[in-house]
Amino acid sequence: MPDAAATALAPGDSAQGALAFLTEMSPDLRGAAILAADGSVLAASGEPGRWGEDAAALFAIADGAGGESVEQVHVATEQGEVFALRHEGLAVVAVAERFALASLLFFDMRSTLRNLAHTTPSTSEGGESRNGGED
Amino acid sequence: MPPKPHRILLDRVSGYADEAAAYMRRRRVARRPFARLYYANGRSADHAFDSDSGAELFVAAGRLLEVAGKRPKP
């Protein structure tokens, strides 16, 4: 189970809890990571380093594709589906089985980040400045 | 002889379930890979697989799929 393998990094006790909550809410989820405003991985289900690199690459490509900062990314492939979301200065990237219900997963991801941002106000403040810079 | 009322209800529920199952089958067969971006102003944009930006998005998504791995069997 992804939540069993969840790896917490400083200051990620609350992030680890949020990731476990997200995994529990979404049975189609294969793995996910929560990232701070500076791109560092707060919690991940697996190798945090790789999650951080690949999530940053996805957001960079998505931002470049449209010429502005994206809020949500949804890529559906034959092997599975990738969802990414920025909200309240945090970001979450999730990988799910094919045909996962996108709207539900985005809703869960958004509420997870909202709860996490409110429990860790310092992280949220940093994220607002980051988003402001990107826009 | 008219059918019993509970049969009418059961037939109607089965009909809806059959329709839903057929819709899901069609969705599985007909759905193609896609990359879709959503922006804060409510705009969204599709990027085709054969476009430059679409191809890059699929490569980046493929790396994340690798990192996540397969879901373990329950």
- Which residues from B are below 8 Å from A27, CB to CB? none
Residues 24-53 of A with CB under 8 A from B: 29-32, 45-47, 50-51
CB–CB contact A75 B53 (8 Å): no
pLDDT tens-place string over residues B16-50: 999 999 988 887 777 788 999 999 999 999 998 88
Confidence label for A134 from pLDDT (cuts 50, 70 and 90)? very low
Q: Which of B39, B40, B62 has the CB atom closest to A77's CB atom?
A: B62
- Which residues from B are below 8 Å from A62, CB to CB? 37, 57
The set of residues, in sequence order, having a beta carbon less than 8 Å from that of A117 and lying 6+ positions away, is: A87, A88, A89, A90, A123, A124, A127
| pLDDT for A50 | 92
pLDDT at A126 over 70: no
pLDDT tens-place string over residues A80-114: 999 999 999 999 999 999 888 899 999 999 999 99
Confidence label for B73 from pLDDT (cuts 50, 70 and 90)? low
For residue B66, the distance in angstroms to the closest alpha carbon of chain A comes to 10
Confidence label for A130 from pLDDT (cuts 50, 70 and 90)? very low
Burial class (CB in 10 A: 0-12, 13-18, 19+), B24: exposed
The ipTM of this complex is 0.78
CB pairs under 8 A between A and B: 103
Q: What is the pTM of this model?
A: 0.75
- State phi, psi for A35 to the nearest 5 degrees: -120, 145
pLDDT at B55 over 50: yes
